[in-house]
Amino acid sequence: MPEKFDITLNINGRDYPIRVEPRRTLVDAIRDDCGQTGTHIGCEHGICGACTIILDDYAVRACLMFAVQADGRRIRTVEGLADGDTLHPIQQAFIDHHGLQCGFCTPGFLMLAVNVLERQPDIGDDELLDVLASNLCRCTGYQNIIKAVQAAAAEMRKA
Amino acid sequence: MTSDAIGYPVPPRSDQRRVLGHPVPRIEDRPLVTGRGLFAGDVAFTHQLHMRVVRSAIAHGRIARIDTAVALRLPGVAAVWTSADIPGIPPVDFRDASRAADEIKPYRQPVLAIGRVRYVGDPVAAVFAEDPYVAEDAAELIEVEIEPLPTLMSASDPPGEFDDGRSTAPLTVRHSYGDIDAAFAAAHAVIELDLAIGRHSGVPMETRGAIGFYDAAHDVLELHGAAKVPHRNKDTLVRMLKLTPAQIHLYEGHTGGGFGVRGELYPEDVLVLVAAKRFGRPVKWIEDRRENLIATNHSRQQRHRIRAAVDKDGRLLAIDDEFFHDQGAYVRTHGASVVGRTMSMLTGAYKVGAYHAAGHYRLTNKTPAATYRAPGRFEGSFVRERVMDAIAAKLGIDRVALRRANLIPATEMPYTIVFDEKGAEKLPLDSGDFPGFFDKALAHFHWGEVEAGVKARRAAGELAGTGVAFFLEEAGRGPRDGAQISIDTSGAVEVVTGGASLGQGFETVMAQICAEALGVDYRAIRVVHGQTDRIAHGIGAHAARATVLTGSAVHATAVKLRGLALGYAAELLQTPAAELDIIDGVVRKRGIPGAPLPAGPSITLGDLARRVGPASDLLAGRNPGLTAQAWFTTAHTVFPFGAHFAVVRIDAGTGRVTVERLLVAYDVGRAVNPMMLEGQLVGGAVQGLGGALFEEFTYGENGDPLAVTFADYLLPTLSDVPRIETLITEDAPSPRNPLGLKGGGEAGINAVGAVIASAIDDAVGIPGAVTQLPVTPQRMREILRKRGR
């Protein structure tokens, strides 16, 4: 058995002390070692974006990192978006604008969008579309995702 | 009601409905946006083993040796199986075992390869280990020695050998009617085309997963991660594993897209069940993306040689189509149904004097193929509409006028196409004014102005073009489906169906239908699907059946339950049932629309359920509880229809085709939820653009798959597609069900290949330029080179 390392993942403000092999991907650790299965695995080669999380202040693909690389860093996942029963504006916007069908790619899109809107609240449409084009969706044809993110952007600017 | 019954009255439109037909938000979204879904990968049992499948790296060969010794020594490995370890397990069977042709039975796929491998990805061994990483390590330590055999990579090449003495050409399916020879002899002109549809597939964002669990205490096998057709797969597994129906149950959680490929019964589903029982431990298998691209069903690949005979006005006297269907290495659960569907729907909404089609079903050394959204129709619409464009060009007739003249006129509806061949299902088109709808759609697109504008751009040197295609769909296959609805003492309503949800919004659709008939809030309804231990029968979700068939069953059940509830309420409230209504879960005196509710006694459905509980003295011999069960039966499918319109521009330098506009116009009969229907049309259209322009499973000459990552197999991204426009009409409700439903899952994708080809031809000014899908930049540049640019 390969050697294992003790690390701590901080997910949505809570510490998860775990013991992992150095080759264990971050997404596997988040899902299987920390039980946060809202982050999904779509391709494991960094193209689909279903596993997008926010690491410190940047959206990253959790399938392209090892868990040990995230030791001690701040991770945000879809489970941390809502405030109790109150949905985050982006979650509400996806419901209101039918921005999801099967919902498998949704957590990745939510984290991608939240990250860009937090960093650039006044982002222009073209740049926003460029960012959203980095994730794949197979159900919606994207246009309701765009509508939802634009609506959430407006809502978040108000707040 | 059984029927040829053209018989249900025209149902009300949404403005006369409370919730049916309204674009209300979905009830399934909240867990999905908060990360609380239960997809296959999220299912976990304590003490579970993880399975990894070892797959052939050779496209065709004899298995000389499989050495598992080193792998078995790896700590954490529980077992390694080859076909020798599961001697009694039959090949994966057909869903409709009685309907599948005998000729193709020997071509079913063994659960693990026996003696030969026939495609790269063919399962040859299975590893079971304590940890998925260890299972993968062990899989890499298994030595599989294969003596290569010649590969067959084209369905239209001469047949080869599938097995000793068994050819790769098991079956030719034929459909015909009318005197084809006479029609060609009398033709003013004959058009001949050689057309190919590329190999692509559904490729859902969630890969497959299967978790087997054996409940030894009750002797029940459980399969989790089921999708699409859990009840039908249960029936197949009962046959294959020699179980009684009570000894196995399938459970559907959330499903990350289906599109026809996910949820079919595959070798891995059988393996986890057999292993769970044998090891006495749960067994989990999650497919990785490379496996998904080489092991999950492919689809679409066909080559058509088609001839059409027309009179001087371009009317279709006859169509004669011979095509080769590339099935890949094995026959899967559908048998040869895609071949049959391709030819039965090929003539679409046009009136064709005589028809003959021969579909050659051929095995090759590629991933097995089956249904993908609009199976046989995406292919057939491409072929048929290519023919229509070719006729228009040859006779110098406008493309739109030619199509309009050939559409089956409203005066001849309902219109039934009967094929000569024994057992070939007739096509009884139920309703619609095709030319009238076409005019409406053309006007909506502003076809005349758009075409003129694009012509001007071409005159200025731009490679821009318009495309048009008309299509016919089919939905709601019977014969029947049932539902159970109950109201508990809190007033909550549970609808139990044998349907399935692949993400299309099944729960909301059923809740809206139930809420409308029953008189409750649709958000207070819990919809059960895909649980074989909750209801004995179910059709799942495929072929746009769910809304039409299961929806009609839910409607019938809700109507029955409403009658039951009103009957009891009439006794309790001492008011005739006919004077009562149910509004937001409260039974009260019927009011006048628009006026305040009348005063008088009322009772909530929850209280009513309590009053008719098992201890009630109200029952007088009747069964307790507010619960009902009913079936919907139909002899025929229903036939929605539509048209696609597109504008494209081509970059002469790169060969990139940019779709500027795409309109999907569709008559759905009645829409249950227009917002969700639009979602289906838009999503389907974008998938169609994938098959038209980007997605292709390519192979090397020796059978090596060349599209095994998302860097090679190109799904459309947000920046590749335009905003899809939709026009939904409800002018032709189906007379074959009480709500006039026709289904909407497959219309968005149906004619996308056809309309993009039409637009590209127009842009380059070469009729018939596009003969093959997808039109990748390489193929586009080839077309441009021939054109001399």
CATH of B14-35+477-633, one of 3.20.20.70, 3.30.365.10, 3.30.300.160, 3.30.565.10: 3.30.365.10
Please give the Cα distance from B436 to B441 (Å, whole number): 9
Q: Which of A31, A143, A145 sits opposite B724 (nearest CB)?
A: A143
A141 chain-B contacts, CB cut-off 8 A: 679, 682-687, 721, 724, 748
At B6 the pLDDT is 58
The torsion of the CA quartet B107, B113, B117, B120, rounded to 10 degrees, works out to 100
ipTM of the complex: 0.98
A110 chain-B contacts, CB cut-off 8 A: 33
- Across the A:B interface, residue pairs with CB atoms under 8 Å apart total 168
pLDDT tier, B102 (very low <50, low <70, confident <90, very high otherwise)? confident
Q: Do A95 and B29 touch (CB under 8 A)?
A: yes
Does residue B616 surpass a pLDDT of 50? yes
Does residue B99 surpass a pLDDT of 90? no
Matching fold, domains B40-149+207-254+262-295 and B302-475+637-787:
no
CB proximity under 8 Å: B 316-375 to A: none
The CATH class that applies to domain B302-475+637-787 reads alpha beta
Per-residue pLDDT tens over the stretch B20-74: 999 999 999 999 999 999 999 999 999 999 999 999 999 999 999 999 999 999 9
At B600 the pLDDT is 85
Percentage, residues of chain B above pLDDT 90: 94
Cα A158 from chain centroid?
23
For the segment B553-582, the average pLDDT, to the nearest whole number, is 97
Q: What is the nearest CA distance from A116 to chain B, expressed in angstroms?
A: 16
Whole-prediction pTM value?
A: 0.97
Residue for token pair 């971050």: A26
**Domain residue extents for chain B:** 14-35+477-633, 40-149+207-254+262-295, 302-475+637-787
Q: What is the nearest CA distance from B26 to chain A, expressed in angstroms?
A: 7
At B700 the pLDDT is 97
Instruction: State chain B's mean pLDDT as an integer.
Output: 96
pLDDT tier, B3 (very low <50, low <70, confident <90, very high otherwise)? very low
Q: What is the nearest CA distance from A121 to chain B, expressed in angstroms?
A: 21
Can you tell me whether residue B748 is helix, strand or coil? helix
Q: Chain A contact for B615, CB < 8 A?
A: no
pLDDT tier, B151 (very low <50, low <70, confident <90, very high otherwise)? very high
Count Cβ atoms below 10 Å from residue B630 Cβ, excluding itself. 18
Q: Do B682 and A140 touch (CB under 8 A)?
A: yes
Q: Do A138 and B715 touch (CB under 8 A)?
A: yes
For the segment B421-444, the average pLDDT, to the nearest whole number, is 96
Count Cβ atoms below 10 Å from residue A27 Cβ, excluding itself. 25
DSSP for residue B15: G
At A1 the pLDDT is 62
For the segment B377-382, the average pLDDT, to the nearest whole number, is 98
Helix B399-406 and helix B377-395: axis angle, to 10°? 120
CB proximity under 8 Å: B 172-211 to A: 202-207
Can you tell me whether residue B210 is helix, strand or coil? strand
Beta bridge partners of B588: B581
The three-state DSSP-derived secondary structure of B510-547 is HHHHHHHHHCCCHHHEEEECCECCCCCCCCCCCCCCHH
Per-residue pLDDT tens over the stretch B275-301: 999 999 999 999 999 999 999 999 999
Q: Chain A contact for B32, CB < 8 A?
A: yes
Does residue B610 surpass a pLDDT of 80? yes
List the structure tokens of B141.
């330590």
Per-residue pLDDT tens over the stretch B621-643: 999 999 999 999 999 999 999 99
Per-residue pLDDT tens over the stretch A109-154: 999 999 999 999 999 999 999 999 999 999 999 999 999 999 999 9
More confident residue, B786 or A13: A13
Residue for token pair 């083993």: B49
Per-residue pLDDT tens over the stretch A8-41: 999 999 999 999 999 999 999 999 999 999 999 9
**Domain residue extents for chain A:** 5-80, 89-158
Does residue B5 surpass a pLDDT of 80? no
Please give the Cα distance from A155 to A149 (Å, whole number): 10
Q: Chain A contact for B721, CB < 8 A?
A: yes
Residue for token pair 């011999």: B621
- Residue B683's Cβ-side half-sphere holds a number of Cα atoms within 13 Å equal to 29
Residue of A nearest to B207 (CA): A42
For the segment B412-421, the average pLDDT, to the nearest whole number, is 97
Please give the Cα distance from B529 to B229 (Å, whole number): 10
Residue of A nearest to B674 (CA): A98
B296 chain-A contacts, CB cut-off 8 A: none
Positions of E strands within B106-216? 116-117, 123-129, 143-148, 161-163, 166-167, 171-177, 189-197, 209-215
Question: Parallel, antiparallel, or unpaired for β B220-226 and B248-252?
Answer: parallel
At A2 the pLDDT is 73
Q: Chain A contact for B503, CB < 8 A?
A: yes
Q: Which of B26, B34, B503 sits opposite A82 (nearest CB)?
A: B34
Q: Do B682 and A104 touch (CB under 8 A)?
A: no
At A149 the pLDDT is 98
Q: Do A45 and B709 touch (CB under 8 A)?
A: yes
A31 chain-B contacts, CB cut-off 8 A: 41-42
CATH topology for A5-80 is Ubiquitin-like (UB roll) (3.10.20)
B75 chain-A contacts, CB cut-off 8 A: 1
For the segment B326-334, the average pLDDT, to the nearest whole number, is 97
Q: What is the nearest CA distance from A48 to chain B, expressed in angstroms?
A: 8
At B787 the pLDDT is 84
Cα A88 from chain centroid?
13
Q: What is the nearest CA distance from B676 to chain A, expressed in angstroms?
A: 7
Per-residue pLDDT tens over the stretch B725-782: 999 999 999 999 999 999 999 999 999 999 999 999 999 999 999 999 999 999 999 9
B254 chain-A contacts, CB cut-off 8 A: 102-104
Per-residue pLDDT tens over the stretch B232-246: 999 999 999 999 999
Please give the Cα distance from B555 to B483 (Å, whole number): 9
The CATH class that applies to domain B40-149+207-254+262-295 reads alpha beta
DSSP string, B350-406: B--SEEEEEEEEEE-SS--B---SSTTHHHHHHHHHHHHHHHHHHHT--HHHHHHHH
Q: Do B718 and A132 touch (CB under 8 A)?
A: yes
Residue for token pair 């006495």: B280
Measured in residues, chain A has a length of 159
CATH code of the domain made up of A89-158: 1.10.150.120
Q: Do A100 and B206 touch (CB under 8 A)?
A: no
Q: Do B256 and A102 touch (CB under 8 A)?
A: yes
Q: Chain A contact for B714, CB < 8 A?
A: no
Q: What is the nearest CA distance from B761 to chain A, expressed in angstroms?
A: 25
At B2 the pLDDT is 36
For the segment A54-72, the average pLDDT, to the nearest whole number, is 98
